[in-house]
Amino acid sequence: MASKLLELNNVEVVYNDFILVLKGVSIEIEKGSIVTLLGPNGAGKTTTLKSISGLIKPERGEVTRGTIVYEGKRIENRDPEENARDGIIQVMEGRRIFEELTVEENLRAGSYISGNTDFDMVYNYFPNLREKRNLRGGYLSGGEQQMLAIGRALLAKPKLLLLDEPSLGLAPIVVKEIFEIIKRINREENVTILLVEQNAKLALEIADYGYIMENGRIVMDGEAEKLRQNEDVREFYMGMT
Ligand code: ATP
């Protein structure tokens, strides 16, 4: 029997004390699965990831309401570092690597919390990074920087990996390669993945289940295979008719 790793129940997020960005979002993620969260710009996808990882900050007038249950425990409004120690690791949009540090120094930053320094495991998935391990991050291509960001997250020993638009700004062939590796990581490292994407076509190819978000609400969800066949999804999110 599959068990639930994460459950969001009626989650609302308020920014600046009054702007309601998430308007009652409920999502379930089974252990070992890849779930994708799709939707247009500004729908609230990044905010959903932040509510899970703990990056919604009450001291900035940002509030999460509703419940978020991870491994059977309530975690809403918990500290991001505590979440990271428990295996909730977020890879931010825009490949935030340290450009002045070498590839290996960047990876070391991922080891900080977990103590895991198995760089070979990362190089196994991303052989380019092994070749360039002494090169500064800023000299890598966009695709390699995304690989580095994912590799660094892997060293933090994720149980739940939150990926925010890994395809952003990358050539289709590079995106395909990265998505294949994401699938391998899911299977071989037994990491559950929540993948936020605008590239619905590719995301639904590797995901088990998908949610579609518009204007702070989930408007559709289902098995990835079913969503791929759905006429509306094909027309509005996959550019196919
Ligand atoms: P994108 O793909 O553009 O990142 P998204 O679906 O991830 O889109 P969010 O980034 O979650 O959407 O943003 C949802 C809404 O909240 C947008 O209207 C955005 O302008 C607004 N928003 C995001 N962050 C803040 C903030 N810190 N303060 C106020 N409003 C915000």
Please tell me the predicted confidence (pLDDT) of residue 1: 55
CA dist., res. 6 & res. 218, Å (int): 16
Return the percentage of the chain with pLDDT > 90, whole number.
83
Pull the structure tokens for residue 60: 């900035």
Say how many Å lie between the CA of residue 44 and the centre of ligand 1.
Answer: 6
- 228 Cα–ligand 1 center, Å: 26
In the predicted model, what is the mean pLDDT of the chain?
94
Residue 47 alpha carbon to ligand 1 centre in Å: 6
Contacts 24+ apart (CB under 8 A), 166-172: 166/91, 166/195, 166/197, 167/197, 167/198, 167/199, 167/202, 168/93, 168/94, 168/198, 169/142, 170/142, 170/143, 170/146, 171/143
Residue 122 CA to residue 38 CA, distance in Å, equals 27
Q: What is the mean pLDDT of residues 206-224?
A: 97
**pTM > 0.90: yes or no:** yes
Q: Region 19-47: what's the mean pLDDT?
A: 96
Q: Which residues contact 51 (CB under 8 A, 6 or more apart)?
A: 8, 11, 13, 22, 64, 68, 76
Residue 141, pLDDT > 60, answer yes
Give residue 240's pLDDT: 64
Q: State the distance from the centre of ligand 1 to the C-alpha of 222, rounded, in angstroms.
A: 24
Q: Which atom from ligand 1 is nearest to the alpha carbon of 213?
A: 6
pLDDT digits (tens, 9 = 90+) for 9-19: 999 999 987 89
For residues 235 and 8, which has the higher predicted lDDT (pLDDT)? Answer: 8
Q: At 102, is the pLDDT very low, low, confident or very high (cuts 50, 70, 90)?
A: very high
Return the pLDDT at 174: 95
Residue 233 reports pLDDT greater than 90: no
How confident is the model at residue 124, as a pLDDT?
97
Q: Quick: pLDDT tens for 53-94.
A: 999 988 888 999 999 999 999 999 899 999 999 999 999 987
Locate the DSSP E strands across the chain: 4-15, 19-30, 34-38, 63-70, 73-74, 88-91, 160-164, 192-197, 209-214, 217-223
Atom 15, ligand 1: which residue's CA is nearest?
42
CA distances (Å), 195 to each of 12, 134, 198, in order?
20, 30, 10
Residue 164, number of CB atoms within 10 A of its CB: 23
Work out the burial of residue 134: count CB atoms within 10 Å of its CB; fewer than 13 is exposed, 13-18 middle, 19 or more buried.
exposed
Task: For residue 84, give the amino acid letter.
Answer: A
Contact criterion met (CB below 8 Å) for 162 and 86: no
